[in-house]
Structure 1
Amino acid sequence: MPSRLPAADHAAGVAWGVVGALFAAVIPTLFINSGIRHGHWGDRHVGARTARLVVMAFILASITAGTALMAALGAPRTMTALVVAMFTTLAGLTAVTFTWKISVHAAVASGSIALLTLTYGPWPLAAYPLVALVSWSRTALRDHTPAQVASGALLGAVLARVTFAAVR
């Protein structure tokens, strides 16, 4: 049974969400877009292994900075656990990327549902077909093999769930 989250002021919750999103998504997206404009990588999917590792290292640093800021400013433990789970998942994906192109998209989709089930119970599992859709799209675009998306989905769910449960 999932534990109930402490009630939080709506505005404060939104603000902490914005801080987390800034360091985990906005800053990394700006970095990727800058790399595309400067010709460092061809598109936002960053398919080449060396470039992919550079982007992943940057995102890990950004998430680390965001986590430190959130901890220093007293963010709710659940929000900090979410960002730490993002870090751990990306660190695991980065380690695999040194030898194999695992699907980050499938990992994020699957990890998100895993975190939602820890927080709200089993009903978010109904959204798992979206993970299958993301995985299908990555193979249909010929960006990944079925093994790469299946491994990404599994690793994302396991790392996100274990980390979030341990930290929150």
Structure 2
Amino acid sequence: MDVTTTPSLPLRAARVVTELLSPAVIVVALPLAVAWQSTGYAVLPTLGWGLLVAVFYSVIPMAIMVRGARRGRWDGHWVRERERRIIPFLLCLVSTSVGLVIMLLADAPRPVIALSWSMIATLVVVLAITRWWKVSVHATVAGGAVATIALLYGPWYLLLVVGVALVCWSRVMVRDHTVAQVVVGALLGPVVGGAVFLWLR
């Protein structure tokens, strides 16, 4: 392979971070962490509630993104073009809303419901912003997740903000976002998602 076409080590690292700390991954892990605390550290209820949230808030939305990319409706599973983000975000909103209804009917633990509402509220705000400007969903989800974990498990978990910084760096490094877009996203997650979670939990 021509060395001029080989990505640099930082760029390759950024691509790995973009996938490993993506919203799809975080939104599988975060509900499990919330369910673990809210069910009194019971394994089976944790898996049940955590995976229910994960399916409607991560697995189905990710399937929508991948399917649309494979059909050429947008330019990849992270939908880089701002104008094309509206439709997949609306479909994700439908999926999350269905998941929330199921959890309400099934009497899910209050913190799990609060998390679900917080993610829906954040998605609605991101969707509204996306009509005019492109904000980083990676940074938004990462920032909101750290705020949620810190609220549940204590302020020491704010050290996870290092991971948020890493996500922000990766999104700029792969040229999917500007510095402003990742900074706004990193703040939007805690301000909207964290506040809603704190209010409802």
* TM-score, normalised by the number of residues in structure 2: 0.79
Cα distance in 2 for residues equivalent to 1:71 and 1:6: 16
Superposed CA offset, 1:14-54 (max 9, x none): 11101000000000111111111211112111012232111
Shift in Å, 1:7: 1.7
**Is structure 2 residue 104 aligned with structure 1 residue 71?**
yes
Residue of structure 1 equivalent to 2:140? 107
User: Contact 2:171–2:182 at 8 Å: present in 1 too?
Assistant: yes
Cα distance in 1 for residues equivalent to 2:52 and 2:38: 19
Aligned residue-pair number: 165
Residue of structure 1 equivalent to 2:150? 117
Superposed CA offset, 1:112-167 (max 9, x none): 00001110110111111111110011111111111110001001111111100111
User: Contact 2:38–2:109 at 8 Å: present in 1 too?
Assistant: no
Unaligned runs of 5+ in 2: 1-36
Residue of structure 1 equivalent to 2:190? 157
| Aligned partner of 1:132 among 141, 155, 165 | 165
Shift in Å, 1:6: 5.4
Residue of structure 1 equivalent to 2:200? 167
SS in 1 for 2:65: helix
**Is structure 2 residue 99 aligned with structure 1 residue 36?**
no
**Identity, % of aligned positions:** 40
Equivalent residues in 2 for 1:11-26, closer than 5 Å:
11-26=44-59
Cα distance in 1 for residues equivalent to 2:38 and 2:73: 43
Superposed CA offset, 1:75-98 (max 9, x none): 111111111111111111111111
**Is structure 2 residue 2 aligned with structure 1 residue 7?**
no
Residue of structure 1 equivalent to 2:27? none
Cα distance in 2 for residues equivalent to 1:9 and 1:146: 41
Give 4+ residue runs of structure 1 displaced > 3 Å after superposition: none
Question: What's the RMSD between the two structures over aligned residues?
Answer: 1.2
Structure 2 counterpart of 1:52, one-letter code: R
Residue of structure 1 equivalent to 2:80? 47
SS in 2 for 1:44: coil
SS in 1 for 2:89: helix
User: Residues 167, 151 of structure 1: CA spacing in aligned structure 2 closer, same or farther, 3 A cutoff?
Assistant: same
* TM-score, normalised by the number of residues in structure 1: 0.94
SS in 1 for 2:86: helix
Cα distance in 2 for residues equivalent to 1:35 and 1:5: 35
Unaligned runs of 5+ in 1: none
| Aligned partner of 1:145 among 173, 178, 181 | 178
Structure 2 counterpart of 1:133, one-letter code: L
